[in-house]
Each structure stands twice: as structure tokens, then as C-alpha cells.
Amino acid sequence: MKILVVDDDRDLLELVAFALAQAGFGVVKAMDTHSALAMFDAELPNLVILDINLPSGSGLKVCRAIRGRSSVPVMMLTVRSEEEDLVKALEIGADDYLTKPFSPRTLLARVRALLRRAGLEAGDSLAAGRLRLDLESHSLTIGEGSAIRLTRLETRLMQLLLAQAGKVVNAERLLAHVWGQRGSGDRQLLKQLVHRLRQKIEPDPAVPRYLHTESGVGYRLTID
């Protein structure tokens, strides 16, 4: 999912870009109207975040230009005093707006809502380092590799390990998460599941690169 961010304030631009990148989005940056449109044509992003107040001609022009060539979702960044411009932006065809200052959390929630509304949502997925788990389709992607299909239990195991990526996860906790009360105390269940998961995801299952054993404690997912 690629997002174009346009803002002439370098600090804010970097902040927004960082927050988006952190959340797993691909980010393209521009600081003026001209390069914004050039970037748009070159990269064809799935969403555009656009400061309404740019020095070289207003953000409205960029918005209009983008609307002229695509129906991609556009989110405007405004300050409260620009009420007037905001109305124009929405009339031109911007889809949403965010009033500065805003928290990264707000930004992400809005961006996700926009993508969802546009039907571009990536689905329920969880990522850390080179690993990305799609909970919807039960598939795991490593780096640029092809997706590996996981079973229901493997997905549940991966879910907790990935959520706690880099940290050791207690065996008892893994058991509880995957099997519920039933699995309590049964090491063999976990042993087997780890074995089967390693066969699928490790280049050399005998020398794990991702799913490491922390002897006497539990397991840990390495993310480099």
C-alpha cells in the first residue's frame, strides 16, 4: 500500500512519513506542488496526504489536479484557521481532512478508514521485521518471498510470537493462546506445532533463523 505525502514543512513531513512507514505503508514524499504531481504520476500511490497550505500555489490546486486524473483517496492537512479552504477542498473532491496538530494514532486510524472506504484495505495483518502474517488468509510472507500457507493452529502460534516479536514467550502462554484451557501443561502439543511450523518457514529447520528456542523458558521470534 503506497501513500504519497505532500508538505513543505520538512519536520512534519518526516513525522507523518515515519508514522506511516512504521505501520507498514510504503511512503513517497514531496515538498512542493510540482514534484507532488510528478511523484503522483510516477508512483501512482493508493492514497494521498496533502497539506492544504503549500507555498508554491495552494494545496487545492494539487488536489484538483489529482482529481483530474484519478479517484484516489485524498486526505487534507489543515489548521483550524483555514476553514474556508477546507470547504473548498471537500467540494473539489478531497475525501477527509485532519486538523493540525494531530497524533500519529489519529492519522493512522483515519488513513485506514479511508483505505477501507475505498475498498483497498489490506485485511487483518500483523507484521514485524521481514515477517508479515495475514490472519485472514492464514498466510505468512517473508521479505519478498512468496506467501506460505499456514494451518489454523500455526497461524495462532505465529500471531502471538509476532505480536511479541523479539521477546521470549512463555510456553504456558503459547499453549493457552493456541489451545485455550485444554492445552494447559501439554508440552508435546507445542513441541509438535513448533516443529511443523519450522518445516514450513525455516530455510534450514535444523538451524532456526526465525523461530528460536529459549531453553527452559519458551520460544522467541527473531526479527533482526
Partner DNA sequence: CCGGATCGTAACCGCTTTGTAACCGCCCGG
Partner DNA sequence: CCGGGCGGTTACAAAGCGGTTACGATCCGG
Under the rule (CB under 8 A), what is the footprint of a copy of itself?
83, 86-87, 90-91, 94-97, 99, 103, 105-106, 109-110, 112-113, 116-117, 119, 123, 136-138, 149, 151-152, 167-168, 170, 214-217, 220
* Closest distance to DNA from the beta carbon of 124 (Å): 18
Residue 217, φ and ψ in degrees, nearest 5: -120, -60
* Closest distance to a copy of itself from the beta carbon of 152 (Å): 6
- By a kind-dependent CB cut-off of 5 to 8 A, residue 65 interacts, out of a copy of itself, DNA, none, with none
Decide whether 3 or 194 has the Cβ nearer to DNA: 194
Task: Give the amino acid at 41.
Answer: D
All cell numbers assigned to 204: 534450514
Alpha-carbon gap, residue 57 to 146, rounded angstroms: 44
- By a kind-dependent CB cut-off of 5 to 8 A, residue 90 interacts, out of a copy of itself, DNA, none, with a copy of itself
* Closest distance to DNA from the beta carbon of 151 (Å): 3
- By a kind-dependent CB cut-off of 5 to 8 A, residue 192 interacts, out of DNA, a copy of itself, none, with DNA
Alpha-carbon gap, residue 34 to 42, rounded angstroms: 12
List the Cα angle 28/143/12 in 5-degree steps: 25
DSSP-derived letter for residue 136 is T
- Helix orientation angle between 59-69 and 33-43, rounded to the nearest 10 degrees: 20
DSSP-derived letter for residue 202 is -
Tell me which residues touch DNA (CB under 7 A). 149, 151-154, 171, 179, 186-189, 191-196, 198, 205-206, 213, 215-218
